Amino acid sequence: MRQCMDSDNLHRRLKKIIGQVQAIDRMIDEDIPCEDILAQINAAKSALHKAGQVVLEGHIKHCVRDGLEHGDPDLTIAKFTKAVERFANMN
């Protein structure tokens, strides 16, 4: 479903997240205080959530629109519901 999302934007975001996670890993070896590590984990989690928003937005703008206009509306709504449920469970 690569055509459904802004893949360049998503790749950029994921590379930054990878860098954040690698920095968190280094912080553990550098004996950084726990609250600072937790702050960085929260930042990475927020960045992943935003990446999920980008994917969901692309799904709505392309897959859902196309499915409603040219496909099976009931199946499209079922798939959209499943996508929203998966996104909502990203805690």
Q: Does domain 2-88 have CATH number 1.10.3720.10?
A: no
DSSP state of 87: H
User: Span 7-33, mean pLDDT?
Assistant: 95
Q: What's the gap between Cα 5 and its chain centre?
A: 11
- Number of helices (H), then strands (E), in the chain: 4, 0
Distance, in Å, from the CA atom of 47 to the CA atom of 81, rounded to the nearest integer, reads 23
Write the CB contacts of 23 (distance below 8 Å, at least 6 apart in sequence). Answer: 40
pLDDT at 2: 63
**Mean pLDDT, rounded, of the chain:** 92
User: Span 53-76, mean pLDDT?
Assistant: 93
Distance, in Å, from the CA atom of 82 to the CA atom of 77, rounded to the nearest integer, reads 9
User: Span 32-40, mean pLDDT?
Assistant: 97
The residues spanned by each domain of the chain are: 2-88
